[in-house]
Structure 1
């Protein structure tokens, strides 16, 4: 049912330093930058940076988000929950997401929105301290 990677989130200690690295060294395409996060694209892949100033393994927000079709999302989530998965956080962003651990303790997310939907939502709800590049 998974039809691709929705986004990859990377935890960083300092958003300004990380933004410079991902933009100037790796030459990713910037989408937005705020006080604690930034979005880029690497080809067709959406990369999200999330600042964790007190970064420790326990505060690591890094995860891979898999995309499922919107019309199959609820069925897929029910199937996952039937396998007694452990969730690592409740959803706090727009849209529906399930945050789960795999059996090795890796953080995963299941979601169905697109980067363009997140951009539209962000421009309406993220506030004025966000710099948009598109």
Structure 2
């Protein structure tokens, strides 16, 4: 049903500071946006940074993961460790490093099967939810499939256009937290079909036409289904 992650939007208090981190430190390519927003190309997904002066605001303290080529990992570690107190985790044969952006988002750079060079996609986003069972059911109806449940029963990992982690409030690796009022854009050939799959459980429907549907999920996250 959902075929790709078009964008992830985060809140940034000071855009100049955010630009310095994402363009200067992480080498992301800036894209043209309107006033009050920045955007960067991260593979096939746009990372949007938005001032908190409208709705949707963009996510707060969101943990998410960039894809980097396996062979570049050590170079990224050596470079970023000069200025950041990095943490590291191992997931089977793949390694990930963690650092924080200027607005408190936990940014992961993880080894993935991507071409690069540099950051080449977003492979995981973590949302904070109040009721794990409710959120899991909601996203299952959008085509996500549960692949892992945390031992503490406070998180679920689902696969879809990217890995979606649903967390009840807690601290994860590197003291990361799930994001609140996160704004996600999903590609789909049938936006209205995505709406029909969850129409009885959305908090609110903000926009509907044949090419774009905007809803708020049961925890207030903004979801756009667009062709």
CA shift digits 1:44-86 (9 cap, x unpaired): 2111111116x896xx6532222211xx2212212221x3221
What is aligned with 1:86? 203
Q: Is the contact between residue 216 and residue 222 of structure 2 (CA under 8 Å) also seen in structure 1? A: yes
Q: Using the alignment, how far apart are the partners of 1:85 and 1:61 within structure 2? A: 14
* Matched length: 102
Report the equivalent of 1:65: 185
RMSD over aligned CA atoms reads 2.8
Which residue pairs with 1:122 in the alignment?
A: none
Q: Any gaps of 5 or more consecutive residues in structure 1?
A: 114-134
Please tell me whether Structure 1 or Structure 2 has the larger radius of gyration of its CA atoms: 2
Which residue of 204, 209, 216 corresponds with 1:100? 216
Q: Is the 8 A contact 2:6 2:44 kept in 1?
A: no
CA contact (8 A) 1:31 1:40 kept: yes
Greater helix share, 1 or 2? 1
TM-score relative to the length of structure 2: 0.39
**Structure-1-length-normalised TM-score:** 0.62
Alpha-carbon distance change, 34 to 15 in structure 1, aligned in 2, over 3 angstroms: farther
Q: Highest relative contact order (Cα 8 Å, sep 6+), 1 or 2?
A: 1
2:186 and 2:33 map into 1 onto residues whose CA distance is 23
Contact 1:9 1:61 in 2 (8 A): no
Q: Contact 2:40–2:48 at 8 Å: present in 1 too? A: yes
Question: 2 CA distance for matches of 1:16 and 1:62?
Answer: 21
1:38 is matched with which residue? 38
**Cα distance in 2 for residues equivalent to 1:52 and 1:111:** 23
Aligned to 1:28: 28
Q: Shift of residue 13 of structure 1?
A: 0.5
Do the aligned residues in 2 keep the contact of 1:66 with 1:108 (CA within 8 Å)?
no
Q: 1:76 aligns with which of 186, 190, 194?
A: 194
Distance 1:34 1:17 in 2: 17
Distance in 1, matches of 2:17 and 2:44, equals: 24
